[in-house]
Amino acid sequence: MRVVIIGNGPGGVELAKELSGEHEVLIIEREEVPFYSKPMLSHYIAGLIEREKLFPYPIDWYEGKGIGLRLGEEAKLIDRARKVLITDKGEYPYDILVIATGARAREPTVEGKEHLLTLRSIEDADRIKALLEEHGEALIVGGGFIGLELAGNLAKAGYGVKLIHRRDTFLGLDEELSGLIRERLGEAGVEFHLDAELLKADENGIQTSKGYIEGKVKICAIGIVPNVEIARRSGIQTGRGILIDDHFRTSAKDVYAIGDCAEYSGIICGTAKGATGHARVLANILRGKEDRYPFELRSSIFKFGDLPIAIIGKTRGDGEWIDGHTKAFFQDGKLVGAVVIGDIKRAFSIEKELKEELY
Ligand code: FAD
């Protein structure tokens, strides 16, 4: 069977790794570089790791696994009738096609947006790193996990960091947990500007609803936009992402979607952990095994500077500290979610417990 995968991010590469040896696998990727770790980009920008550490799989790794890789090639259209993927450089017949095109950073739309950078690719990271080394400080807009990771790592490396966020809580967490994040990053040197809306930007700073904040290097981390264009162009159903069922099937026969480009029941996964999880379950489904991805159980792990944090399941409502690291959330007496700070091993055991309860 010939499996063609569009996208060489964690979703695409994990699926290729799973299926290589069982099937003929080909990855089409529009970037020129082999797979790199996006979660490590802010560590690289901060100078905490070398650039080459971002690349766990060099070109000969793909060759060794027998995975075909076409870099610098953009998938343009799926000819569903002929079962052929058309790129800007050629045509590739498939038995199974997997769209793993990920997402891009949401661009700000305010006046002066040309003064704001975004972070998604290694190219973005190189640009931000060079500017940061010139100016020595950063102004980050957005208190999502990308903004917090970047803030934590830059502060850890000794850069001046200001973070503007439209709310006074983070990541949908309660005031206590958000306060803890603020306290730990504040101790590391991050200056917070909360409840402040981005209004416009210029060369020297940002005008917010709470006043003007100075900063030459301005990075906007205000969310993602799934890359659905190839699906849309090929007549496949899309919403915010490419619509899939619980077996990752799109509306087109033998065409699947995984990772940040896919939307299941209104949910976009948005994390590397989610994308690799999708890939592993899809590999089993393609092997004919019964498997199901726990879409309803959202679970992510981040590291904000020296602060590792895991957010698992439902974390709204009244929580209760069940040990020094874990705030657990219950509904009708049943555990439905937890936030684990500092002890990631504990997070894995809680995730397992929740999965067993749900499925
Ligand atoms: P992507 O990684 O977006 O890969 C998609 C690939 O498809 C890209 O390489 C793109 O070039 C390619 N592509 C798109 N369209 C085409 C086309 N038409 N033709 C050919 N190729 C195409 N997640 C975590 O779990 N933990 C973290 O700590 C964390 N930190 C992050 C920090 C940063 C700075 C960023 C940017 C992301 C972070 N994430 C983190 C999120 C995580 O990286 C993404 O959720 C994950 O990369 C999604 O994987 P994916 O395979 O779906 O898509």
Residue 142 is predicted with a pLDDT of 98
Report whether 308 contacts 345 (CB < 8 A): no
Report whether 222 contacts 239 (CB < 8 A): no
Average pLDDT of 276-302? Answer: 94
Residue 355 is predicted with a pLDDT of 82
Q: What is the pLDDT of residues 171-191, one digit of tens each?
A: 999 999 999 999 999 999 999
Question: Measured in angstroms, how far is the CA atom of residue 66 from the centroid of ligand 1?
Answer: 23
In SS3 terms, the chain reads as: CEEEEECCCHHHHHHHHHHECCEEEEEEECCCCCCCCCCCHHHHHCCCCCHHHHCCCCHHHHHHHCEEEEECCCEEEEECCCCEEEECCCEEECCEEEECCCEEECCCCCECHHHCECCCCHHHHHHHHHHHHHHCEEEEECCCHHHHHHHHHHHHCCCEEEEECCCCCCCCCCHHHHHHHHHHHHHHCEEEECCCCEEEEECCEEEECCEEEECCCEEECCCEEECCHHHHHCCCCECCCEECCCCCECCCCCEEECHHHEEECCECCCCHHHHHHHHHHHHHHHCCCCCCCCCCCCEEEEEECCEEEEEEECCCCCEEECCCCEEEEEECCEEEEEEEECCHHHHHHHHHHHHHHHC
Choose one of 37, 219, 271, 278 to mutate for the ligand 1 pocket test, by most ligand atoms within 8 angstroms of C-beta: 271
Instruction: Give burial (CB, 10 Å; 0-12/13-18/19+) of 41.
Output: buried
Question: Measured in angstroms, how far is the CA atom of residue 8 from the centroid of ligand 1?
Answer: 8
Reading the block at residue 31, the tokens are 């970037």
Cα separation, 169 vs 195, whole angstroms: 9
Q: What is the pLDDT of residues 110-135, one digit of tens each?
A: 999 999 999 999 999 999 999 999 99
Confidence of residue 252 (pLDDT cuts 50, 70, 90): very high
Cα separation, 84 vs 237, whole angstroms: 18
Report whether 62 contacts 220 (CB < 8 A): no
Q: Which atom of ligand 1 is nearest to the CA of 273?
A: 25
Cα separation, 254 vs 265, whole angstroms: 20
CA distance to 13, 18, 61, per residue, from 65 (Å): 11, 10, 6
Question: Measured in angstroms, how far is the CA atom of residue 146 from the centroid of ligand 1?
Answer: 12
Q: How far is residue 317 CA from its own chain's centroid?
A: 26
Cα separation, 185 vs 341, whole angstroms: 13
Reading the block at residue 213, the tokens are 């904040």
Choose one of 5, 15, 29, 38 to mutate for the ligand 1 pocket test, by most ligand atoms within 8 angstroms of C-beta: 38
The residue whose CA has the least distance to atom 2 of ligand 1 is 9
Q: What is the pLDDT of residues 317-359, one digit of tens each?
A: 889 999 999 999 998 888 899 999 988 888 888 888 888 877 6
User: pTM of the predicted model, to two decimals?
Assistant: 0.96
Question: Measured in angstroms, how far is the CA atom of residue 95 from the centroid of ligand 1?
Answer: 25
Q: What is the pLDDT of residues 69-103, one digit of tens each?
A: 999 999 999 999 999 999 999 999 999 999 999 99
Average pLDDT of 262-279? Answer: 96
Residue 216 is predicted with a pLDDT of 97
Average pLDDT of 191-204? Answer: 98
Instruction: Give burial (CB, 10 Å; 0-12/13-18/19+) of 124.
Output: middle
